[in-house]
Amino acid sequence: MARSKPSARDALIKLRAEREELATRETRLREEAAAELGTVLLECGAEVLEPAQLKQLLRFSMTLGIDTAIKRLSAA
């Protein structure tokens, strides 16, 4: 008995379900990553920084590149 070829509609329904699954997984993983980063901030005492200062520091570090930013800060 030959299998019938899946229809485009069925494929779209399956794809939509997979996207929803991936979106849910991404949300969960983002929350886990945020919790891990929060733990790191608490461990190094960075909870005293204002959120705007932390955001500025991270943006600057990402612009320079992490290795370069660490080298610059280590030299100071």
Q: How far is CA 16 from CA 5, 20, 47, 48, 62, in A?
A: 19, 6, 40, 43, 34
Closest CA to 61 of 73, 49, 52, 50: 73
Please give the helix or strand (H or E) that residue 1 lies within, else none. none
The pLDDT profile of the chain, 76 residues, written as one tens digit per residue, is 556 777 999 999 999 999 999 999 999 999 999 999 999 999 999 889 999 999 999 999 999 999 999 999 898 6
